């Protein structure tokens, strides 16, 4: 039984782009790259579904990954609480650690 291989994103993109071009069949690509045709179909589908996200906001933010202002505000508040707790604990521990 063969071991599963993990292909990097660049390899998947290259194979999917070749499949989209249509110069060779999926079966020919599968033989050439040593992957199953089903995987090539999945990569091609993922490429076509995610292609629109490249042009959104200059391609810097993936679709659905924006963080709301409320979440950022809550995270900043939590960071502040943790900073205060760390300062308090460091002052209380000074007699025991000798610094």
Q: Tell whether 15 and 45 lie within a shared domain.
A: yes
CA distances from 28 to 24, 37, 82 (A): 6, 9, 57
Same domain, 77 and 99: yes
Give 53's contacts (C-beta < 8 A, 6+ positions apart).
59, 62, 63
Residue at 60 is within a domain: no
Is-contact 19 29, C-beta < 8 A? yes
Percent of the chain with pLDDT over 70: 87
Residues 79, 31 share a domain? no
Q: Are residues 17 and 41 in the same domain?
A: yes
Same domain for 80 and 45 = no
| pLDDT tens, residue by residue, 33-89 | 999 999 999 999 999 988 888 787 655 555 455 678 888 999 999 999 999 999 999
Q: Report the distance separating Cα 13 and Cα 93, nearest Å.
A: 54
CA proximity to 30, closest of 42, 40, 18: 40
């Amino acid at each position: 039984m063969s071991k599963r291989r993990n292909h990097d994103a660049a390899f998947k993109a290259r194979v999917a782009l070749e499949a989209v071009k249509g110069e060779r069949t999926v079966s020919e690509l599968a033989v050439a790259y040593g992957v199953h045709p089903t995987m090539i179909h999945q990569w091609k589908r993922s490429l076509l579904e995610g292609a629109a996200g490249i042009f959104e906001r200059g391609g810097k933010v993936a679709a659905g990954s924006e963080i709301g202002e409320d979440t950022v505000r809550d995270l900043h508040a939590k960071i502040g609480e943790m900073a205060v707790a760390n300062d308090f604990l460091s002052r209380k521990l000074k007699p025991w650690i000798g610094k």
